[in-house]
Amino acid sequence: MSVEKHSYTVPNLPGVRLDGGNLSGADDKRKTAEYFDARAVDWDKHQHPQDAVIERILDDAEVGGGSRVLDLACGTGIMIPYYLRRGAASVVGADLSAGMLDVARRKFAGNDNVSFLQADAETDDLGSGYDVIMVYNAWPHFPHPQVLIDKLSGLLKTGGVLSVAHGMGRETLNGVHGRGAASVSSRLVPASDLAAMFDHDLTVYKVVDTAHMYQVCGMKE
């Protein structure tokens, strides 16, 4: 498997730190929603998902035939075709951004296995009994990670998996957000730190933190 290319290419802008050191956090959820609403129409043009990396992420999260999947911060639904190709029984895409969900609903109109929910993940009802909850390329936009992990863990069925994953390395991601989304992003912490948060509720069985991929998976016992 080759994972040498990153998923995104972002120009270096004069006067902007390349290490993500200027990230100011995502505490203002209204601002976060507005940020993504404004980019929804053109979002897919700038996404370059790598099939090999995504397939590894889904393998690690044990997404397979019959899985009930919650795709949290689903955006325009980049991951949904991958779930469906694996035979997922149902996919619920949830996002804070109405604009992103408008695009996603158009893309998957008529697919009875896919539904969408505009929601604040920390406070709103997201359903329950999931086999897999996937948060892909979105974790730094959630302001209270431990609160969210505790909640999502309760939405899994026994044996279900929570996966936080990124299709690029941590420092690359922090740099990308520092150059274009500093006001709605926090720094992505080392995967070992995130795994320690998972340990409150889940049994961690996968921790990946390389130059090209990031993932933590925990199972509900």
pLDDT tens digit sequence for 55-98: 999 999 999 999 999 999 999 999 999 999 999 999 999 999 99
Task: Tell me how far apart the alpha carbons of residues 200 and 182 are, in angstroms, rounded to a whole number.
Answer: 29
Q: What does the H/E/C string look like for 30-64?
A: HHHHHHHHHHCCCHHHHCCCCHHHHHHHHHHCCCC
Structure-token match 């940020």, residue found = 35
Q: Tell whether 98 is covered by a domain.
A: yes
Domain-located, residue 18: no
126's tokens: 């997201």
Domain membership flag for residue 20 = no
Q: How confident is the model at residue 9 (pLDDT cuts 50, 70, 90)?
A: very low
DSSP for the chain? ----S-S------TT--SSSTT------HHHHHHHHHHHTTTGGGG----HHHHHHHHHHTT--TT-EEEEET-TTTTTHHHHHHTT-SEEEEEES-HHHHHHHHHHTTT-TTEEEEE--TTTS---S-EEEEEEES-GGG-S-HHHHHHHHHTTEEEEEEEEEEESS-HHHHHHHHHHH-GGG--PPPPHHHHHHHHTTTSEEEEEEE-SS-EEEEEE--
Position 9 in a domain? no
Average the pLDDT over 118-142 and give the result: 97
Name the more confident of 15 and 146.
Answer: 146
Provide the CATH number for the domain around residue 138: 3.40.50.150
Confidence of residue 27 (pLDDT cuts 50, 70, 90): low
**pLDDT-based confidence at residue 10 (cuts at 50, 70, 90):** very low
pLDDT value of residue 200: 87
**What is the domain range of residue 166?**
29-219
Residue 155 phi/psi, 5-degree rounding, is -90, -10
Q: What is the largest CA-CA distance in the chain?
A: 50
Examine residue 16 and state whether it is found in any structural domain, yes or no. Answer: no
In a domain, 7, yes or no: no
pLDDT band at 218 (very low <50, low <70, confident <90, very high): very high
pLDDT, mean over the chain: 89
Among 202, 200, 205, 208, residue whose Cα is nearest residue 220 = 202
Q: What tokens were used for 155?
A: 């939405």
Check residues 27 and 16 and name the one with the higher pLDDT: 27
Q: Is residue 8 part of a domain?
A: no
Q: Tell me the pTM.
A: 0.89
Instruction: Judge whether 5 lies within some domain.
Output: no
What's the domain count of the chain? 1
